[in-house]
């Protein structure tokens, strides 16, 4: 069985190596990482580090390192396929098979080429719509009436599709090109002899971009009261409503700066909120919020706030968003629900009550745990036994969908209080119900505690005979029309200790070191520590690569000169930085474990593995200190580049009168960089 590399990357992006390792090794928080006794060699003091940021583990004693898959293979004795299947089962993924024929691979390559062609066609249409907006006072008047400035219109690439059945014929001379139909720009009426006409007519246009900034579709709104008010592009090879979010490309930097993403219900909500000081807003595309939407947002932030109208329709939309968010509600994430008065949407609320009032609403939004309980209790009379039983029945699938962790245990306690049962009794009842519903299997796991209802775990060995321990200013008006182009846990089912057959306590963050390690026999023999080879001195480019591979989000903070300097480095460093930047634009910040899998058989794989291997590769620390360290490296690399250019200019000075002038300009820049470097030092 061959598993596609893309699936391995997705799997590693979903699992948490701290939770996986913690089921076998007692871990304790130590700075940015978790530390424990290495399971691969004997030691008396902890040197085994697990990094949540990199999704990687490393032992400073024996040098063992890897990701969640390699840990299960090396420590639990699983084969590669078994380890992947075990992890996939825990996160609800189906393992695919990559045993496909060369013909099928060729078809896949052709499909990728088709996607690139479609985005080119859609971008050409977006440029035309922007030109039409500058020529339509009626469309400009609509946006100005909604308070949208030219600056914001330019940022979001707003446009206008003029009246007329075939206005795109002036943009695409071959109006019968099948790509126009495939991209959703043109409709073909088969009942009228294959007559073709524009899908969007007399509508203001909102281009929809993926995280790389490519145009993949459009939303169009009528200027009057015609129906339908909003019209979206159809599903195409590049556009899937259930996966994309309007405004995410434009909002990605603001989301990181504000610390949360604000999810709204419409295009105009996003644009208006950006105008009013909330540029971190995105919107679903006329469909319910899906787990894919939430997963995509969580690449950029650990905090998501859903904003809905307070009417019945808003409550229904919020309920669907709850279903989509439950599987991602881990202990370290914040997911909230904001309900506005029925007469308001976010735009109107901010205009009437001000930005401070709306910010307070966001801060006071309902946490996911409370909304889950409210949703389960809706329509139930909790004063009666029947009503409480009904509530418990409603709550079971919601609670089961939560990832194992402290949050799941606390929600269970809240639900148990409402049912007037003990938490253990409620969990036992739900576990029994799950056992009756699930097909009997020899691989079903232990279900006598609140973890029941989660993905089934592997059967515990007979040696396990103890109960798992408990878990203790808006932009200026700009110009109209806009000119130019837009800027681009909870214990597992068996809770075994450090490997099968040894009764170490289960994973417990913040556990007691003394009880775990100091009770060991001081005279017990320990194998000698192997001497690790000395690491050669790393270059500045090596160090910069290590920092960016460890903390990919730093790429967002780099200047144009920084990117130019990095990408201009001699191979293999320059190609590695170019590849890393492309990955960031496509996927957002990724952990090193995911990047490592993406680099398989890539020309830069050897360099990346070299700089990320060994004790020197541990870059965790205060984020601000690491940022300053990277800033100093980049300044010194730019200084080196300038000095190399200056040497060439001195050689050219005799024949080129402008060489000295360019030399002086570079010298001024060099002095500024030297001053910054000296200040940092």
Distance, in Å, from the CA atom of 543 to the CA atom of 630, rounded to the nearest integer, reads: 8
Fill in the DSSP letter of residue 474: P
Token pair 């050897």 is found at 606
pLDDT band, residue 112 (cuts 50/70/90):
low
Note whether 611 and 530 are within 8 A (CB): no
pLDDT band, residue 483 (cuts 50/70/90):
low
Distance, in Å, from the CA atom of 524 to the CA atom of 517, rounded to the nearest integer, reads: 13
* 278 contacts: CB under 8 Å, gap ≥ 6: 262, 346, 350, 355, 358
Whether residue 497 has pLDDT greater than 80: no
Q: In terms of Cα–Cα distance, which of 459, 519, 453 is closest to 495?
A: 459
Token pair 């200084």 is found at 639
- The DSSP string of 422-464 is -HHHHHHHHHHHHHHHSPP-TT----SSTTTTSSPPPPPPTT-
pLDDT value for 524: 43
Give residue 25's Cα distance to chain centre: 28
**Which two structure tokens, joined as six digits, stand for 433?**
């119900």
Note whether 388 and 350 are within 8 A (CB): no
Q: Answer with the residue of higher pLDDT: 144 or 483.
A: 144
Question: If you average pLDDT over every residue of the chain, what do you get?
Answer: 79
pLDDT value for 32: 76
Fill in the DSSP letter of residue 234: P
Q: Report, as an integer, the average pLDDT of 209-235.
A: 87
Token pair 């061959």 is found at 2
Q: Report, as an integer, the average pLDDT of 211-223.
A: 88
Whether residue 181 has pLDDT greater than 90: yes
Give the pLDDT confidence of 518-569 residue by residue, as tens digits: 444 444 444 444 444 444 567 888 889 988 988 888 888 888 788 888 888 8
Residue 161 pairs in a beta bridge with: 203
Whether residue 284 has pLDDT greater than 60: yes
Give the pLDDT confidence of 362-402 residue by residue, as tens digits: 999 999 999 999 999 999 999 999 999 999 999 999 999 99
Distance, in Å, from the CA atom of 636 to the CA atom of 639, rounded to the nearest integer, reads: 5
Distance, in Å, from the CA atom of 354 to the CA atom of 464, rounded to the nearest integer, reads: 60
46-50, 206-210, 599-603, 621-625 — most confident range: 206-210
Token pair 């990919």 is found at 552
Distance, in Å, from the CA atom of 177 to the CA atom of 189, rounded to the nearest integer, reads: 15
Residue 203 pairs in a beta bridge with: 161, 222
Whether residue 636 has pLDDT greater than 80: yes
Q: Report phi then psi at 48, rounded to 5.
A: -95, 115
pLDDT value for 443: 42
Whether residue 333 has pLDDT greater than 60: yes
Note whether 165 and 201 are within 8 A (CB): yes
Distances (CA, A) of 212 to 208, 307, 584, 587, 592: 11, 25, 9, 8, 20
Count other C-beta atoms under 10 Å from residue 192's C-beta: 9
pLDDT value for 108: 59
Q: In terms of Cα–Cα distance, which of 353, 452, 435, 363 is closest to 400?
A: 452
């Amino acid at each position: 069985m061959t598993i596609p590399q893309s699936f391995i990357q997705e799997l590693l992006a979903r699992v948490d190596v701290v939770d996986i390792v913690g089921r076998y090794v007692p871990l304790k928080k130590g700075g940015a990482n978790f530390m424990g006794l290495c399971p691969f060699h004997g030691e008396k003091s902890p040197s085994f580090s697990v990094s949540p940021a990199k999704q990687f583990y490393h032992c400073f004693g024996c040098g063992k390192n890897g990701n969640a898959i390699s840990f299960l293979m090396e420590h639990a004795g699983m084969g590669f396929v078994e380890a992947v299947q075990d992890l996939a089962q825990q996160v609800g993924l189906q393992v695919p098979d990559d045993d496909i024929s060369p013909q099928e691979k060729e078809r896949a390559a052709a499909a990728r080429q088709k996607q690139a062609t479609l985005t080119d066609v859609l971008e050409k249409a977006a440029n035309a719509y922007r030109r039409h907006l500058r020529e339509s006072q009626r469309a400009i008047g609509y946006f100005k009436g909604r308070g949208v400035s030219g600056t914001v219109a330019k940022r979001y690439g707003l446009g206008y599709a003029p009246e007329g059945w075939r206005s795109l014929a002036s943009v695409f001379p071959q109006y019968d090109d099948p790509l126009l139909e495939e991209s959703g720009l043109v409709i073909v009426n088969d009942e009228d002899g294959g007559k073709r006409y524009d899908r969007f007519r007399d509508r203001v246009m909102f281009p929809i971009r993926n995280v790389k900034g490519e145009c993949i579709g459009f939303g169009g709104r009528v200027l009057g009261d015609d129906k339908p008010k909003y019209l979206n592009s159809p599903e195409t090879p590049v556009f899937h409503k259930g996966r994309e979010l309007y405004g995410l490309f434009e909002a990605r930097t603001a989301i990181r700066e504000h610390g949360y993403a604000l999810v709204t219900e419409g295009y105009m909500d996003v644009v208006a909120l950006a105008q009013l000081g909330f540029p971190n807003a995105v919107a679903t595309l006329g469909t319910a919020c899906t787990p894919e939407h939430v997963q995509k947002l969580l690449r950029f932030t650990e905090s998501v706030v859903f904003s809905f109208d307070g009417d019945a329709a808003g409550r229904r939309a919020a309920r669907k968003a709850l279903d989509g968010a439950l599987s991602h509600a881990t202990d370290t994430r914040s997911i909230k629900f904001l309900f506005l008065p029925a007469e308001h949407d976010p735009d109107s609320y901010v205009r009437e009550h001000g930005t401070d009032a709306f910010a307070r609403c966001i801060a006071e939004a309902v946490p996911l745990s409370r909304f889950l309980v409210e949703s389960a209790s809706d329509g139930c009379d909790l004063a009666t036994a029947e009503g409480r039983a009904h509530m418990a029945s409603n709550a079971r699938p919601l609670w089961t969908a939560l990832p194992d962790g402290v949050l799941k245990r606390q929600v269970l306690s809240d639900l148990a209080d409402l049912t007037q049962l003990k938490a253990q009794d409620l969990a036992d009842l739900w576990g029994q119900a799950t056992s009756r519903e699930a097909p009997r299997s020899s691989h079903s796991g232990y279900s006598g505690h609140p973890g029941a209802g989660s993905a089934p775990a592997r059967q515990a060995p007979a040696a396990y005979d103890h109960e798992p321990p408990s878990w203790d200013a808006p932009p200026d008006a700009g110009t109209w029309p806009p000119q130019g182009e837009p800027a681009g846990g909870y214990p597992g089912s068996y809770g075994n200790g450090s490997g099968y057959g040894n009764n170490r306590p289960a994973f417990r963050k913040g556990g007691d070191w003394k009880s775990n390690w100091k009770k060991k026999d001081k005279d017990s023999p320990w194998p000698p520590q192997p001497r690790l080879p000395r690491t050669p001195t790393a270059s500045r480019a090596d160090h910069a690569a290590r920092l960016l591979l460890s903390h990919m989000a730093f790429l967002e903070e780099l200047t144009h000169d920084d990117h130019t300097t990095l990408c201009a480095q001699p191979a293999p460093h320059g190609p590695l930085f170019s590849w890393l930047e492309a990955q960031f634009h496509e996927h957002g910040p990724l952990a090193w474990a995911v990047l490592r899998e993406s680099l398989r058989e890539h020309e830069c794989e050897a360099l990346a593995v070299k700089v990320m291997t060994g004790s020197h590769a541990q870059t965790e620390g205060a984020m601000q200190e690491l940022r300053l360290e990277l800033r100093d490296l980049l300044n010194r690399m730019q200084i080196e580049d300038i000095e190399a250019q200056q040497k060439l200019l001195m050689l050219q000075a005799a024949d080129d009168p402008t060489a000295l002038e360019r030399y002086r300009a570079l010298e001024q820049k060099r002095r500024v960089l030297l001053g910054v470097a000296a200040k940092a030092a």
